[in-house]
Amino acid sequence: MNKYYLAIDIGASGGRHILAHREDGRMVLEEIYRFPNGMIEMDGELIWEVDRLFEEIKTGMKKCLELGKIPESVGIDTWAVDFVLLDEKDKRIGNAVAYRDGRTNGMDREVNCFLGEEELYRESGIQKQLFNTVYQLMALKTKKPDQLKRANKLLMIPDYFHYLLTGEAVSEYTNATTTQLVSPKTKEWNKELIEKLGLPLQIFATIKNPGTELGSLKEVIQKEIGYNCKVVLPATHDTASAVMAVPLKQEDTVYISSGTWSLMGTEQKEANCSEESRIHNFTNEGGYDYRFRYLKNIMGLWMIQSVKKEIGRTLGYGEICEAASRCSIKSLVDCNDNRFLAPKNMTEEVQRACRESGQQVPAGIAEVAAVIYNSLAVCYGKTIQEIEEITGKSYDCIHIVGGGANAEYLNQLTARITGRIVYAGPIEATAAGNIAAQMIAAGELNSLEEARECIFQSFPIATYHP
């Protein structure tokens, strides 16, 4: 009889429940439920509808019972940096504000009043991005200090959902590192840094590693969904789960976890918190088994997703990709420019950037998409050169995982512009990595290396040559 494991993977635009089991040594995934997600505006803030999302989590879990496939365990992964605050009665304080909200504007200057960017990087190894948790917390301290004073717990978004399922309040390691408040040396909360910033130390929950069993579902949840199962922490940062599913030797490979964001980097055993690394804006996010995801955040397919909503609603992503491949426009934009983080209209912002730089202004979905795809590939080319310069290693291939592994035109461009062989797949990397952590915890897989080999044998991998 098959043992089933449930991965709940929630991204910025939607979530999925993926049931998995092993069959003939391979990992088999089955999507059983899908639901929408997105930021909405409330009380003058961009927020996540965490109450609705939790209802969707439970609805998808009920599907397992309907299918007669009760999971051994369940684990949830989401995006990083965002959090909720709970008071002493464990009631949520305020909204679950989204990282694209403008509340962090100018908060880097506020943080710099307590310590400089160089020291913050040395202490955390995390690249400066205005939406990082440290800047969100400074925004609360500056603009809504009463919320911070009332807080008894801070939980990252997936930690909050795990808490609602089990009653156990912990901080999972990979997501905790994205706060910019965890020491890459001790792998624990950096108490000196937190106190220096004037933040309340008591709100930060104990850090636990991926693979930790939190316990069973609360009785009220068991009654609602109709069964009990274990809750096991995956790498709750979706990129950390996706990197677990990169099925090649990490020391020889540069990966791109391609989705709303393009996270491009390599895996290292030690963090690189050097000034050279900071200047090039690389980050050292925590990974499974205390490995470091040494990578750069690139704006990614968020730009394509936005353009599709604006001027390509009737088209699928494959159709947009194909249309872009037939365009000859050569214009490029800087994908990492903050102007593309949350513009009112992405199409107009891309056109404006081209106009300001004296380049051909794209017209229509095909040309706008072509500019974005080409710009992403050029950014990938620059980034792999920087990785080689800093690490002193040469990388002859790039492995793309996640939804972007489906973007054939972008994959072809990446191979041509970088001059490297590109391997693409698995598409469901985040779910596969989430499941891998649960299977290792259950003893069904013995190690990360075995999990990666299993994933390599389980899913199709496409190859693109320069």
Residue 205 DSSP code:
P
Identify the active-site residue in 9, 159, 238, 334. 238
Q: Collect all residues with Cβ–Cβ distance below 8 Å to 87 and sequence separation of at least 6.
A: 93, 150, 151, 152
90 catalytic? Reply is no
> What tokens were used for 404?
């972007």
* CA atoms of 454 and 456, how far apart (whole Å): 5
* CA atoms of 4 and 71, how far apart (whole Å): 5
Q: At what angle do helices 317-325 and 408-418 cross, to 10 degrees?
A: 40
pLDDT reported for residue 341: 86
What tens digit of pLDDT does each residue of 85-98 get?
999 999 999 999 99
Topology (CATH level 3) of domain 248-424: Nucleotidyltransferase; domain 5 (3.30.420)
Percent of the chain residues past pLDDT 90, beyond the cut: 95
Architecture of domain 4-232: 2-Layer Sandwich (3.30)
Phi-psi region of 44 (alpha: psi -120 to 50; beta: other; left: phi over 0): left
Domain with CATH 3.30.420.40 in the chain: 4-232, 248-424
> What tokens were used for 177?
């590192």
* DSSP calls for 103-149: GGTTHHHHHHTTS-HHHHHHHH-PPP-TTSHHHHHHHHHHH-HHHHH
**Residue whose tokens read 């500056």:** 142
> Cβ of 192: how many Cβ atoms within 10 Å?
11
What tens digit of pLDDT does each residue of 178-217 get?
999 999 999 999 999 999 999 999 999 999 999 999 999 9
What tens digit of pLDDT does each residue of 133-167 get?
999 999 999 999 999 999 999 999 999 999 999 99
What tens digit of pLDDT does each residue of 34-53 get?
999 999 999 999 999 999 99
Q: Collect all residues with Cβ–Cβ distance below 8 Å to 88 and sequence separation of at least 6.
A: 152
CA 300 distance to own-chain centroid = 12
> With a threshold of 0.85, does the pTM exceed it?
yes
What tens digit of pLDDT does each residue of 247-267 get?
765 467 899 999 888 999 999
